[in-house]
Structure 1
Amino acid sequence: MTDTHSPQTLLEPTAAVAPMTLPALLAEASRRFAGIAAIEENGVVTRYAELPEQVMAVTRGLLARGIEEGDRVAIWAPNCRAWIIAALGIHCAGAVMVPINTRMKGPEAADVLARSGTRLLFLCREFLGVDYPALLQPFRPDSLEGEIILDEPVSIDGRLGWQAFLDEGASVSLERVKARMAAVTPEHVSDLLFTSGTTGKPKGVLSTQGQLLRAFHEYGKVIGLGPGDRYLIVNPFFHAFGYKAGWISCLLAGATILPHAVFDADVVIRRIAEDRISVLPGPPTLYLSMLAHPQLAQTDLSSLRVAVTGAATIPAVLIERMRTDLGFEVVTTAYGLTECGGLATICDPGAPAEVVAATSGRPIAGTEVSIRNAENQLLPAGETGEICLRGFHVMRGYFQDPDATAEAIDAEGWLHTGDVGRLDEQGNLQITDRLKDMFIVGGFNCYPAEIEAVLLQHPAIAQVAVIGVPDERMGEVGCACVVRHANQSLEGPELIAWCRERMANYKVPRMVHFFEALPLNPSNKVAKNDLRTLLAT
């Protein structure tokens, strides 16, 4: 077949130009938004005018410790004000920030530190009952030269306290710091984010400051983020959704950052009312949890304005309920992955509701999306295949892993994402699922997200996840893991019969398991590997 369908590109470049380095962003934000609160945490307000001095104090501390351009400095802590200040200090030193997943165990964190060649580590003393220094100590790599405890002012057990670290930097002149900041270019690597490691050891993804700022300047313009917005960042900072679409986007727009360490529906709903939250992005599970909360009707949600979510297929009813029951004026969807800096496409919030519900929109300016088959041939609109991306936002490569880089990015510059989807006639991306989550029932491909979208239409279902499980006759069959709405009754055979009326037989789950709550990963997405383990025991 001859294909005449060309890759789609999105929105025209915006007129306003974003700063292209983090030091330039810091300077511009402190000037443009001087009197606005940049960060609010536990009653402590840090205004934009105060940020440069606080950040440069961190950069001075790093220089005092001998950190050079390109050196790796890691952060292992929950969402908090100090995380942001430390990260900006690393960026302004021209060093590479390495975020570490707060759910990692000692050996996992040590592996990331060792493979990245991290010289210094900022970490918290305790989070969710875990002593992080003690967790790391038995596995601490020799390459790690020092640790700074973010939530301890003084040094303890051979580790520098936060204030002690800042005090060390007093020996470094302000002129030297400013010279280092001025030397930072858009091509400096901003961060080394490690992938989730679902198909082996996590791989380190290299992105630059220019890529980061260009992409999320576009993001902020699409969602209308601006001064006066109050952004509750529930998504973890170690992930691009919390870091780049989170506090970096706030700095670009002059919005106020309110870090939130652990998602709890009770606490989040209370904070929306008390802190007058206007921006609350998150995965669909966040909004589903809120919608199922018994105190929802009694809570003042009038401040909510912007919601951004993303998943394979989002049911239209969720988008409608986010607008009507939660009161969001702007509801949109976006798609990205670590290897493209966290953002590839975003839906125009002004598009028809069915487009927002069914797609992740079109590529951001300067990027392309292509759908390809297993032979890397371009597919026409409407056909399903692997989502491939090309443009300024594609990673510089996997850290010290040229073979994996060559496998992910082909000779024409296309990043092969491992996600499955299609482009509609307008160039909107419809994500079907992950290649790895697809299961095959009697020779038919089944994409869990498509099945989940149908199941969520059942009035008794609050949340659902579908996984493939082994079956002697069919090879694999679908298993629905269901959380019922409060005070709703539903049994497995009843749900299976309901499904048979609404989907092809091979897609119908053969098993149903009920849960009080589905296991979530730190990004508040359903941890399907945990479900597979639970059901296998």
Structure 2
Amino acid sequence: MNTHPRTTPAALADAADNRPDRLAIADGDTRLTFAQVHAYVRDFAAALVARGLEPGARVAIWSPNTYHWEIAALGVHWAGGVVVPINTRYTGNEAADIVERVNAAALVVVGDFLGADRYAQFREAAPDLTVSTVVRVPVSGNDTPAQGVLDWDDFLAAATDTSRTEADARAAAVGPDDIADILFTSGTTGKSKGVLSAQRQTIGVAQAWTECAELTADDNYLIINPFFHTFGYKAGIVAALLAGATVIPMAVFDVEKVMAMVSAERISVLPGAPTIYQNILDHPRRSDYDLSNLRLAVTGAAPVPVSLVERMQNELNFDAVITAYGQTEAVVATMCRTDDDPVTVSNSSGRATADFEVRIGDNDEILLRGPNVMLGYLDDPEATAKTIDADGWLHTGDVGTLDERGYLDITDRLKDMYISNGFNVYPAEVEAALLSMPGVHEVAVIGVPDERAGEVGRAFVVPLDGSSPTEDDVIAYSKEKLANFKRPRSVRFVDHLPRNPSGKVLKNVLREEKS
């Protein structure tokens, strides 16, 4: 009999009851036990209720990895709402598009962060878009809320005994099949798609990740992966909640700060892209830090050489290094196990987990089926039907093979997506943005190898007759329209794009360009 909680409110209540005094979050000077997180979340939920949030309403969170994100997300669920994470690298236009499409009842937005005022960008992009409640997350301490924006503490002060009682009733009423979150993933049509997941699915994939990673209440989990991504949110916050592990969030990646935090916080679990471990291994001051408590690394999103796995185990003393595979529509579908050897870890993405079935379909496409496949795309039944077939198989667009043990090796992509700095980039979205640039007639974007980022974009541009845009012009325009990781880093001007008889651009021909 499955005794695991099946909603995040139930998981939080369980943690507060069974390990009230265990440290749940360690974010700088802010240290919160599970009992304190529970109380904090109740206040956040009660404040939402007091501000008029209805059950099922959507709340967007546009903020980096700090304790505020976890409190806000769990608070939205406690109030019976739906969490809508927004990528912190998005422009004001991209964020406003999501807020408008989900009809967000509230927006939790960081104040001054990395030298930018996200809310000012949002307002500039959509001056007429109304959001009834906007809450500012104080990160720098140097900024004050804009007019109509509630400071974090002032917002929490709106909680009352009456609204807490109502929030508690809503939390108890949240069911496994209720929508938990809408995570946006760019699509090959050039328009981002909102992936709908139920509470049972958000819990289900997190529970599976917890079991494969052998996460326990003794673990200190440094979460570098962004909370707006499934890795940081579901395999991070929710997994730690289920296991009783301590979350140590990191808002901005810096290799020396990572080593300092691993030492100071006695970090045992450190997931991330392969470049994170390579940077640590190659750092000239690595020996200055005590990294001896490291136990588990979970990686993926880029090839992992056998030599890197061996160095991680031998030089960083990881007990286990495991790889995983998933996408927003499935979160985590396969994982290695902690006793897998370095060759298996390097050459595969593990075997099925989270009750997934995995098979190889036509054109060697990876197909997934199981209870944790997304419910569908927001307001897009046509795209949903194209992605999930009548038999319930999710068509991933990735190409791979399964060995006799059921271990999956991802060999290519049917889609044109590439991964830059750990983020998925869909060329059609970049192309759509660049086609709006004056002087551009046609454009095609591909990913090209980059030593630091893995891959970066290269745009092939056909100018309009009589126009002569420069590479700097195209890159400057992309900065106005696109998040940093989506922007092409190089531009090639061509007279025409190579096409097949049906008119489809032959990107394989473009990839053969050497210069």
TM-score range, shorter chain: 0.7 to 0.9
Query: Distance between the aligned counterparts of 1:430 and 1:298, measured in 2?
Result: 37
Query: Distance between the aligned counterparts of 1:481 and 1:101, measured in 2?
Result: 22
Partner of 2:351: 362
2:395 pairs with 402, 416, 427, which one?
A: 416
Query: Distance between the aligned counterparts of 2:245 and 2:223, measured in 1?
Result: 12
Partner of 2:437: none
Indicate how the Cα distance of structure 1 residues 81 and 141 shifts in structure 2: closer, same or farther if over 3 A, else same: farther
Q: Say whether 1:150 aligns with 2:137.
A: yes
Query: Distance between the aligned counterparts of 1:77 and 1:415, measured in 2?
Result: 30
Indicate how the Cα distance of structure 1 residues 478 and 33 shifts in structure 2: closer, same or farther if over 3 A, else same: closer
Kept after mapping to 2: 8 A contact 1:33/1:227: no
Partner of 1:129: 115
Q: Say whether 1:352 aligns with 2:341.
A: yes
Q: Deviations over 1:235-254 (max 9, x none)?
A: 00000011111111111001
Q: Deviations over 1:208-249 (max 9, x none)?
A: 111111221121111111112111100000000111111111
Indicate how the Cα distance of structure 1 residues 350 and 399 shifts in structure 2: closer, same or farther if over 3 A, else same: same
| SS in structure 2 at match of 1:91 | helix
Amino acid at match of 1:72: R
Query: Distance between the aligned counterparts of 1:198 and 1:232, measured in 2?
Result: 33
Partner of 2:106: 120
Kept after mapping to 1: 8 A contact 2:6/2:203: yes
Query: Distance between the aligned counterparts of 1:421 and 1:427, measured in 2?
Result: 12
2:202 pairs with 212, 236, 250, which one?
A: 212
Query: Distance between the aligned counterparts of 1:304 and 1:316, measured in 2?
Result: 19
Kept after mapping to 1: 8 A contact 2:8/2:238: no
Query: Distance between the aligned counterparts of 1:278 and 1:434, measured in 2?
Result: 33
Partner of 1:441: none
Kept after mapping to 2: 8 A contact 1:390/1:413: yes
Kept after mapping to 2: 8 A contact 1:313/1:432: no
1:373 pairs with 362, 384, 398, which one?
A: 362
Superposed displacement of residue 17, structure 1: 3.3
Partner of 1:63: 49
Q: Say whether 1:294 aligns with 2:284.
A: yes
Superposed displacement of residue 121, structure 1: 0.2
Superposed displacement of residue 351, structure 1: 2.0
Partner of 1:175: 165
Indicate how the Cα distance of structure 1 residues 433 and 291 shifts in structure 2: closer, same or farther if over 3 A, else same: farther
Partner of 2:10: 24
1:534 pairs with 481, 490, 493, which one?
A: 490
Query: Distance between the aligned counterparts of 1:17 and 1:534, measured in 2?
Result: 53
Kept after mapping to 2: 8 A contact 1:197/1:203: yes
Amino acid at match of 1:388: L
Q: Deviations over 1:141-184 (max 9, x none)?
A: 53422211121798642211112111222263433222111110
Unaligned 5+ segments in structure 1 are 1-14, 375-384, 439-447, 450-462, 469-475, 485-525
Query: Distance between the aligned counterparts of 1:333 and 1:186, measured in 2?
Result: 28
Indicate how the Cα distance of structure 1 residues 481 and 230 shifts in structure 2: closer, same or farther if over 3 A, else same: same
Superposed displacement of residue 343, structure 1: 0.8
2:365 pairs with 386, 389, 392, which one?
A: 386
Q: Say whether 1:106 aligns with 2:74.
A: no
Amino acid at match of 2:166: R
- Aligned pairs for 1:491-530 within 5 A: 527=485, 530=487
Superposed displacement of residue 436, structure 1: 3.3
Q: Say whether 1:436 aligns with 2:415.
A: yes
Partner of 2:328: 338
Amino acid at match of 1:115: R
Kept after mapping to 2: 8 A contact 1:250/1:256: yes
- Aligned pairs for 1:136-285 within 5 A: 136-138=122-124, 139-140=126-127, 142-151=129-138, 156-170=146-160, 172-197=162-187, 199-285=189-275
Query: Distance between the aligned counterparts of 1:398 and 1:483, measured in 2?
Result: 33
Amino acid at match of 2:136: I
| SS in structure 2 at match of 1:168 | coil
| SS in structure 2 at match of 1:79 | coil
Query: Distance between the aligned counterparts of 2:90 and 2:278, measured in 1?
Result: 26
Kept after mapping to 2: 8 A contact 1:408/1:417: yes
Kept after mapping to 1: 8 A contact 2:273/2:302: no
TM-score for the superposition, normalised by structure 1? 0.77
Partner of 1:511: none
Amino acid at match of 2:377: Y
Query: Distance between the aligned counterparts of 2:127 and 2:399, measured in 1?
Result: 39
Kept after mapping to 2: 8 A contact 1:154/1:162: no
Kept after mapping to 2: 8 A contact 1:39/1:45: yes
Unaligned 5+ segments in structure 2 are 428-444, 454-483, 494-515
Indicate how the Cα distance of structure 1 residues 96 and 478 shifts in structure 2: closer, same or farther if over 3 A, else same: closer
Superposed displacement of residue 362, structure 1: 1.1
2:80 pairs with 64, 71, 94, which one?
A: 94
| Count of aligned pairs between the two proteins | 437
| SS in structure 2 at match of 1:147 | strand
Query: Distance between the aligned counterparts of 2:448 and 2:80, measured in 1?
Result: 49
Q: Say whether 1:34 aligns with 2:3.
A: no
Between 428-437 and 414-423, report the one with greater CA deviation.
428-437
CA RMSD, 1 decimal: 2.6
Indicate how the Cα distance of structure 1 residues 325 and 196 shifts in structure 2: closer, same or farther if over 3 A, else same: farther
| SS in structure 2 at match of 1:263 | coil
Kept after mapping to 2: 8 A contact 1:18/1:214: no
Kept after mapping to 1: 8 A contact 2:348/2:407: yes
Amino acid at match of 2:413: R
| Matched-pair identity in % | 45
| SS in structure 2 at match of 1:413 | coil
Kept after mapping to 1: 8 A contact 2:79/2:168: no
| SS in structure 2 at match of 1:339 | coil
Superposed displacement of residue 478, structure 1: 10
Partner of 1:379: none
Superposed displacement of residue 417, structure 1: 0.9
Amino acid at match of 2:300: G
Amino acid at match of 2:30: V
2:379 pairs with 400, 406, 410, which one?
A: 400
